Amino acid sequence: MDFEFSPEQTAFVKEVESFLDAHDDPDVFDVTRENMAQIVDTPARRSFMAEMGQQGWLGMTWPTQYGGKEGEGVYEYLLNEQLARRGGPQIGKGVGIIGKTLIRHGNDKLKAEFLPKILRNEVEFAVGYSEPNAGSDAASMQLKATKVDGGWTLNGQKTWTTSAHFAEWYWVGARTDPDAQKHFGITLFLVPLDQPGITINAIWTMGDERTNEVYLDDVFVPDDYVVGELNRGFQYISEALDLERFTMFTFSPIAQRLELLIEYVKTTTRDGEPLRDDQVIRQRIAQLSTEAEVARVMGLRFVFESAKGGAAPTSEASEYKLFATELSKRVADASMDIAGPGTQLRVKTPDAPMAGRAESTYRYTVIDTIGGGASEIQKNIIARRKLGLPKNF
């Protein structure tokens, strides 16, 4: 694989950077929200994403018959990385998870209704996989779908649905065949979140961000809003999670936080001695810098494998997600250790080391190792699908 970008790809990055410079707005971009900066949760952010759609940058890799440009996946990668570096909203959920799944498996009605809206950023989605007893193990979901005349009724509870309080539609998995093995008998549905019978309650994370628990009580879904084949939902979810594990855990913020730490070490003294001369600190920075380059290349390998066509490469997605999010935690740990007690001051505290960025990073990075499947789940996927180990090893 080629580790360098072509002149056309480099020119695209410069075009994106110019666009972001022209649309710089603190109501849109906030690096201190860390990975949660990617969600499109305010009017300003929705307006910004709509302008991105006008640029033709949403759905660049989609087939032309659905409004895309059939572009190379590397362009979506480059776009997302530039957005993430600024702390801006990103293209992952609507364009990637929902849009690409509908293109592959959705019926004509769903494609006609949702794909144009996604390209214009006229709709936001919440994703409902996790339940109180089915977190990273999505195949254990028990939300019940019962067949009725003309559709289905949904009953049960979802949790950790981050976008439910502002999204219009719920992309939700439910069990349609309770007698099937747990990886089968699950079906995907699209449900309007203002549908009668839906109750949304806030849950606040340690990163000061809102997620939600969602209760569904006899919520009716017409047959037309079943995604793909009945009882094949987990297979579609697995495909989409491969995309999520890559596109929603970008490398740029990790590199940015490491650059911030390196600059702090370069310019700070302790007991009259420059931190940059401390051999232990130098070794730790060197180790993190090496690991950051590994994470960057693992991301490029996912892009390279994806370009071959077909479903997203599962093991590469898990390898990247596992390594990058655990690295992000190690960078946060190092920032707290090296800069000392002052790093416990809240983010944006002017007198705190690195303006308090270490404190917010430390809280947020724990969440990153859980979202999209916890690190333990990624290890299991790699063990089975890449190393060929038996399921009960």
Q: Hey, how many other C-beta atoms are within 10 angstroms of the C-beta on 156? A: 20
Residue with tokens 């600190």: 281
Q: How far apart are CA 144 and CA 126, in angstroms?
A: 18
- Of 183, 198, 231, the last residue of a domain is 231
In tens, the pLDDT along 271-330 reads 999 999 999 999 999 999 999 999 999 999 988 888 777 667 888 889 999 999 999 999
User: Do residues 253 and 378 both lie within one domain?
Assistant: yes
For position 310, what pLDDT does the model report? 65
CB-based contacts of 286, cutoff 8 Å, min separation 6: none
User: Do residues 51 and 136 both lie within one domain?
Assistant: no
* 340 lies in some domain: yes
For position 390, what pLDDT does the model report? 87
User: Do residues 152 and 275 both lie within one domain?
Assistant: no
3-state secondary structure string across the chain: CCCCCCHHHHHHHHHHHHHHHHCCCCCCCCHHHHHHHHCCCCHHHHHHHHHHHHCCCCCCCCCHHHCCCCCCHHHHHHHHHHHHHHCCCCCHHHHHHHHHHHHHHCCHHHHHHHHHHHHCCCCCEEEECCECCECCCHHHCCCEEEEECCEEEEEEEEECCCCCCCCCEEEEEEECCCCCCCCCCEEEEEEECCCCCEEEEEEECCCCCEEEEEEEEEEEEEHHHEECCCCCHHHHHHHHHHHHHHHCCCCHHHHHHHHHHHHHHHHCEECCEEHHHCHHHHHHHHHHHHHHHHHHHHHHHHHHHHCCCCCCCHHHHHHHHHHHHHHHHHHHHHHHHHHHHHHHCCCCCCCCHHHHHHHHHHHHHHHHCCCCCCHHHHHHHHHHHHCCCCCCC
CA atoms within 13 A on the CB side of 341: 0
Q: How far apart are CA 232 and CA 336, in angstroms?
A: 45
* 31 lies in some domain: yes
User: Do residues 151 and 201 both lie within one domain?
Assistant: yes
User: Do residues 26 and 81 both lie within one domain?
Assistant: yes
User: Do residues 253 and 382 both lie within one domain?
Assistant: yes
Q: What is the CATH number of the domain that holds 149?
A: 2.40.110.10
User: Do residues 214 and 281 both lie within one domain?
Assistant: no
For position 392, what pLDDT does the model report? 63
Q: How far apart are CA 240 and CA 248, in angstroms?
A: 11
| CB 158 within 8 Å of CB 130 | yes
User: Do residues 302 and 371 both lie within one domain?
Assistant: yes
The number of domains in the chain is: 3
pLDDT < 70 positions in the chain: 243, 310-311, 392-393
User: Do residues 311 and 227 both lie within one domain?
Assistant: no
Bridge pairing between strands 210-222 and 273-274: unpaired
User: Do residues 221 and 141 both lie within one domain?
Assistant: yes
* 146 lies in some domain: yes
* 370 lies in some domain: yes
User: Do residues 288 and 365 both lie within one domain?
Assistant: yes
- Of 69, 90, 111, the last residue of a domain is 90
Question: Which residue range forms the structural domain that includes residue 370?
Answer: 249-386
Residue with tokens 């594990």: 245
- Written as six digits, the tokens of 105 are 């498996």
| CB 188 within 8 Å of CB 236 | yes
* 107 lies in some domain: no
Q: How far apart are CA 352 and CA 122, in angstroms?
A: 40
> How many angstroms separate the Cα of 80 from the Cα of each of 33, 177, 352?
16, 38, 30
- Of 90, 114, 138, the last residue of a domain is 90
| CB 158 within 8 Å of CB 172 | yes
| CB 228 within 8 Å of CB 106 | yes
* 108 lies in some domain: no
Whole-model pTM? Answer: 0.90
User: Do residues 209 and 259 both lie within one domain?
Assistant: no
Residue with tokens 């009960």: 392
What one-letter code names the amino acid at 41? D
* 393 lies in some domain: no
Query: What is the rounded end-to-end Cα distance, in angstroms, of the chain?
Result: 33
* 113 lies in some domain: no
